[in-house]
Amino acid sequence: MASMLAARLVEPGKPLRIDEVSIPEPAPDEVLVKVSACGLCGTDIHLAVDGDIPVAHTPITLGHEGAGEVAAVGADVKDFKKGDRVALFPSAVCGQCRFCRVGRESMCEASKVYGMARDGSLAHYIAAPARAAVAIPDGIPFDVAAIVTDGVSTPFHALRSRGNLRAGEAVAVVGCGGLGTHAIILARLMGAGFIVAIDTNDAARDRALNLGADMAIDPREGDPAKLMRTRLGRRGVDLALEFVGHQETAELTMRLLDRGGRAVFVGVGMVRPVLPPLISFVGGENAVIGSFGMDMADIRDLFDLIANHRLDLSASVSARYPLARVNEALQRLASKDEAVVRLVIEPQE
């Protein structure tokens, strides 16, 4: 049986091991994808560096932001053929549950996330359900397509599907790393009338201003909610998005809201933030909304925006690494390197 190389998590919190394993055989409803690019994100840090997210089994191949070329198709696959360029939804969704049937794949009841429940894309090849693959339009490079599947589609889902951003509204982005950076780009594209970026990182704030934020606040200088209102005379923002997952940033996000404002939480963690006093929260008709991942439509629509030259993500890939240097890339991402928006592994290099 033919073999390939794969970056495998053997022990949580320990460096990934590059193993020689068998190339997977696609099931009747699957495609075998020759992986050209796989993005890295915060979840990979939790898995491979911090070791605080459980996996279904070890060893397991990490990587849930995959894109490449179809190398073979299962007997029942009709929508793809060998040679097609595809990006993979970050998990193998069932396509049959009550959520999948209405296009809410983010909530799939039988979802199996790559790198957590089944082998992922940090390998030369991956087998994936054809229903969870998205055709990549001509002209979009594999590295950009890979980061769209999570790093860009996650904030897009938060802004559009969960936050219901309307043109002219004021938006706050709390946490301007990879997800927050793309939230700023997308909020401007979607017609936000005012964008404030909040981050302790100097480079992240500068980048936010360069990409379209109207104001950038360092929370170490004081309460961002008060600073924003003092400097601009604003009552608050219509939509605030939280990409950190800490108690203090979650509670800050709610304080940023104007009457009728929505707080969308994307960052995850075990913290339990406290709601504002109900007299103001209820009286102001504020909303707290969770946003988890993305739907297939988010990825398709982003591809259309890129293909039609409405969205430029060429600067979002900060560096590319071969598979052999995956641990170096993970450590760089974990160090919160100021220059990093997104890192990509190219397994074929």
- The pLDDT tens digits for 169-181 are 999 999 999 999 9
Domains along the chain with CATH numbers: 3-150+294-346 (3.90.180.10), 164-290 (3.40.50.720)
Percent of the chain with pLDDT over 70: 100
User: In the prediction, which pLDDT does 4 show?
Assistant: 98
User: In the prediction, which pLDDT does 173 show?
Assistant: 98
Residues of the chain predicted below pLDDT 70:
1
User: In the prediction, which pLDDT does 153 show?
Assistant: 98
User: In the prediction, which pLDDT does 208 show?
Assistant: 96
User: In the prediction, which pLDDT does 65 show?
Assistant: 98
Cis peptide before 59 (omega within 30 of 0): yes
Contacts of 159 (CB under 8 A, 6+ apart): 165, 171, 183, 186, 187, 190, 239, 241, 264
Going edge to edge, which strands form the sheet with 170-174?
215-217, 194-198, 170-174, 237-242, 257-265, 287-290
Q: How far apart are CA 180 and CA 88, in angstroms?
A: 22
Residue carrying the six token digits 């969960």: 162
User: In the prediction, which pLDDT does 269 show?
Assistant: 79
Q: Would you state the structure tokens that stand for residue 302, as one six-digit string?
A: 């982003």
Q: How far apart are CA 94 and CA 35, in angstroms?
A: 22
For residue 344, give the nearest of 75, 121, 157 by alpha carbon: 121
Instruction: Supply the pTM of this predicted model.
Output: 0.95
